[in-house]
């Protein structure tokens, strides 16, 4: 095989939309990003071949196919553009044409930000109802901390923590997701009323998880994590954090599809803070739009995380990081992210509403 053909066969083409803006701006035609209301007209393209420095360029969207074709990646580029511009199916009835807010409800004694605050199930239920009132579209109930260094929780303990809360909230009309990496917990949560699985291991943490998720018929959030909670922050390493994570999630989606879990039921989360240092986190946040090329809704979970404290004086404690959390949430919305997993529901909802109103005002002189 000639060298150039071999490189084309081995290479990976990546595409990150740039120039993302509200369609209300009326500035040129642009390509619609997923469901809208955003469009884009520029792309950062990257061509990676093992053993060679990556090639990168910023191009008008109309020039992407030609650039990729010169490198034998025309088919990859065409497929990515199709996934970027394809509409996303509703998530449990939620239209994803506007950002949706997932409220974090940790029923644990040791979560990094609010450990112990909601360990009492009655308090957790009351706070979950308050989050609904404040505008949470989804309530994410978790019974095991996955903060750096956290120890595993016995399955029965995790089930006993989450099931009463899920039952009460789902009975009250909440759309509940179960934040777990263990198949027995997922099964018990679904029986109790949970309608979404949120797994920090992308269904790799339990050999039964993928089969359970495929058979359950519920949407699944696949998150990237390098390593395990006990060890993930010791020495994380990537060639390119954003693109390596893209490749990992693409491979997980392919395996899910083979197992009977269709792409239409998958959400992706690049996993800020899970096996990533500050530079890795910032690279992923800057490149969030690249994950739309996976053909799934994209979720960001960066609320109150430690990288904010490293960037902002006076934010050493997790509960001091709300302003930074709002800033990173708005940066994600500006990149078309459909789901925000947050501690501060009312504040995030207000910030997103104002940001969107300002963006849309540009088309109404």
Q: Give the residue numbers marked as catalytic.
A: 305, 341
Strand partners, 55: 47
Q: Cis link prior to 311 (omega < 30° from 0)?
A: no
Tell me the two tokens of residue 197. 């699985």
> In three state form, how does the secondary structure of the chain look?
CCHHHHHHHHCEEEEEEECCEEHHHCCCCCEECCCCCEEECEEEEEEECCCCCCEEEEEEHHHHHHHHHCCCCHHHHHHHHHHHHCCCCCECCECCCCCEEEEEEECCCCCCCCCCCCCCHHHHHHHHHHHHHHCCCEEEEECCCCCCCCCCCCHHHHHHHHHHHHHHHHHCCCCEEEECCCHHHHHHHHHHCCCEEEECCCCCCCCCHHHHHHHHCCCEEEECCCCCCCCCCCCCCCCCHHHHHHHHHHHHHHHHHHCCCCHHHEEEECCCCCCCCHHHHHHHHHCHHHHHHHCCCEEECCCCCHHHHHHCCCCCCHHHCHHHHHHHHHHHHCCCCCEEEECCHHHHHHHHHHHHHHHHHCCCC
Rounded distance, CA 267 to CA 260, Å? 15
> In this structure, what are the phi and psi dihedrals at residue 341, rounded to the nearest 5 degrees?
-95, 115
Residue whose C-alpha is closest to residue 166's, from 137, 202, 134, 195: 195
Based on its alpha-carbon atoms, the radius of gyration of the chain, rounded to whole angstroms, reads 20
Burial class (CB in 10 A: 0-12, 13-18, 19+), 257: middle
């Amino acid at each position: 095989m000639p060298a150039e053909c071999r490189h084309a066969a081995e290479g990976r083409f990546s595409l990150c939309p740039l120039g993302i803006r509200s369609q209300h701006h009326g500035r040129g035609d642009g390509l619609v990003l997923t469901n809208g209301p955003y469009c884009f007209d520029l792309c950062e393209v990257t061509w990676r071949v093992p053993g060679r420095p990556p090639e990168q360029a910023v191009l008008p969207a109309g020039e992407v196919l030609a650039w990729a074709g010169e490198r034998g990646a025309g088919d990859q580029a065409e497929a990515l553009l199709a996934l970027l511009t394809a509409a996303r199916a509703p998530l449990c009835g939620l239209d994803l044409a506007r950002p949706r807010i997932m409220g974090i409800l940790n029923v644990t004694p040791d979560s990094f930000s609010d450990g112990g605050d909601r360990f009492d199930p009655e308090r957790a239920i009351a706070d979950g109802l308050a989050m609904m009132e404040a505008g949470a579209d989804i309530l994410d109930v978790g019974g095991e901390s996955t903060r750096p260094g956290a120890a595993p929780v016995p399955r029965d303990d995790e089930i006993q923590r989450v099931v009463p809360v899920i039952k009460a909230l789902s009975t009250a009309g909440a759309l509940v997701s179960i934040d777990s990496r263990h198949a027995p917990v997922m099964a018990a949560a679904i029986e109790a009323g949970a309608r979404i699985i949120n797994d920090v291991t992308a269904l790799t943490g339990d050999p039964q998880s993928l089969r359970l998720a495929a058979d359950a018929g519920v949407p699944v959030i696949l998150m990237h994590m390098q390593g395990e909670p006990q060890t993930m922050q010791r020495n994380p390493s990537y060639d390119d954090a954003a693109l390596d994570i893209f490749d990992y999630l693409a491979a997980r989606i392919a395996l899910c599809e083979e197992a009977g879990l269709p792409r239409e039921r998958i959400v992706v989360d690049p996993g800020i803070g899970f096996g990533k240092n500050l530079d890795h986190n910032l690279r992923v946040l800057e490149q969030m739009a690249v994950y739309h090329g996976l053909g799934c809704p994209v979720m960001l979970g960066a609320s109150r995380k430690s990288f904010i404290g490293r960037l902002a004086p006076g934010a050493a404690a997790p509960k001091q990081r709300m302003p930074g959390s709002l800033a990173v949430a708005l940066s994600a919305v500006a990149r078309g992210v459909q789901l925000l997993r947050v501690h501060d529901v009312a504040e995030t909802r207000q910030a997103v509403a104002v940001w969107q109103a300002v963006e849309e005002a540009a088309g109404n002189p």
